[in-house]
């Protein structure tokens, strides 16, 4: 079984990635977007959960009606420098209200993990040749952020609050 990071911890993962011309195995599977669209009914009828693998050019609105059926959406990072799926993740979370697992796959490396987490990705198939224990440290590097801050409010909010009592005091 694959070891990976989910919700900030290292876990054993049972999901199977299935290529387009492979027979469907038992259990929970992640298929490509093309296969999902082509074999939607068959996939829904079988036992086991379904995940779909998308990439930077995927048109999310085509997937929108199916989001409730998908337990996992795997976001493909063909190279760690390709940031398109950072936008896709935010769109899925914020615009399409997707609440299942968003999983980074492909060239997934420690130094991009924190960015991924802040746009809503919660599971990471870190590249197999890298240490997961080392990768986990990526989440401890910053205690706050100007935007999309997972560990508290943004400085703009904090500053508004700090200013508010002063203003009230001045007014009274």
Partner 1 sequence: MYRYDSFDQTLVDERVAQFRDQTRRYLAGELTDDEFRPLRLMNGLYIQRHAPMLRVSIPYGLLSSEQMRMLAHIARTYDRGYGHFTTRQNIQYNWPALESVPDILADLARVEMHAIQTSGNCIRNITSDHLAGVAADELTDPRPYCELIRQWATLHPEFSYLPRKFKIAVSASESDRAAIRVHDIGLQVVHDDDGRFGFRVFVGGGLGRTPVVGECIREFLPEEDLLSYLEAILRVYNLNGRRDNIHKARIKILVRAMGAEAFGQRVEAEWQHLRGDPRLTLAPEDVAYMQGFFQAPPYDSTADGRALKEHLDGDPAFTRWYRHNTVDHRQPGYRAVFLSLKAPAVAPGDLTDAQMDAVAALAERYGFGEIRVTHTQNLILPDVRQDALHALWQELRELNLATPNVGTMTDMICCPGLDFCSLANAGSIDVARDINERFDNLDDLYDLGDIRLNMSGCMNACGHHHVGHIGILGVDKKGEEFYQITVGGSSSNDAGMGERIGPAVAKDRVADTLESILHTFVAHREGDEPLIDTYRRIGVKPFKEAAYA
d(CA 22, CA 103): 21
CA distances from 77 to 13, 92, 106, 149 (A): 19, 16, 5, 23
Burial group, residue 45, by CB count within 10 angstroms (0-12, 13-18, 19+)? exposed
- The reply to whether 97 sits near partner 1 by the rule CB under 8 A is no
- The reply to whether 10 sits near partner 1 by the rule CB under 8 A is no
DSSP state of 91: I
- The reply to whether 20 sits near partner 1 by the rule CB under 8 A is no
Q: In terms of CB distance, is 45 or 169 closer to partner 1?
A: 169
Q: Which stretch binds partner 1 (CB under 8 A): 8-16, 34-42, 68-76, 141-149?
A: 141-149
Could you identify the residue written with the tokens 């990072």? 77
- The reply to whether 155 sits near partner 1 by the rule CB under 8 A is yes
- The reply to whether 105 sits near partner 1 by the rule CB under 8 A is no
User: Interface with partner 1 by CB under 8 A: which residues?
Assistant: 56, 80-84, 86-88, 90, 95, 109, 111-112, 114-119, 134, 141-148, 154-156, 158-160, 163
């Amino acid at each position: 079984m694959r070891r990976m990071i989910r919700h900030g911890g290292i876990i054993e993962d049972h999901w199977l990635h299935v290529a387009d011309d492979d027979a469907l195995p038992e259990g929970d599977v992640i298929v490509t977007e093309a296969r999902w669209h082509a074999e939607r009914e068959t996939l829904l009828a079988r036992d086991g959960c379904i995940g779909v693998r998308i990439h930077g050019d995927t048109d999310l609105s085509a997937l929108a009606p199916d989001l409730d059926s998908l337990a996992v959406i795997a976001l493909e990072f063909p190279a760690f420098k390709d940031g398109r799926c950072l936008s896709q993740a935010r769109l899925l979370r914020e615009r399409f209200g997707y609440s299942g697992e968003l999983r980074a796959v492909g060239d997934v490396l420690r130094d991009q993990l924190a960015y991924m987490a802040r746009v809503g990705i919660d599971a990471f198939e870190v590249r197999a040749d890298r240490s997961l224990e080392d990768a986990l440290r990526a989440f401890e590097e910053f205690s706050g952020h100007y935007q999309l801050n997972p560990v508290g409010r943004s400085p703009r909010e904090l500053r508004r609050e700090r200013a508010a009592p002063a203003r009230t005091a001045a007014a009274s």
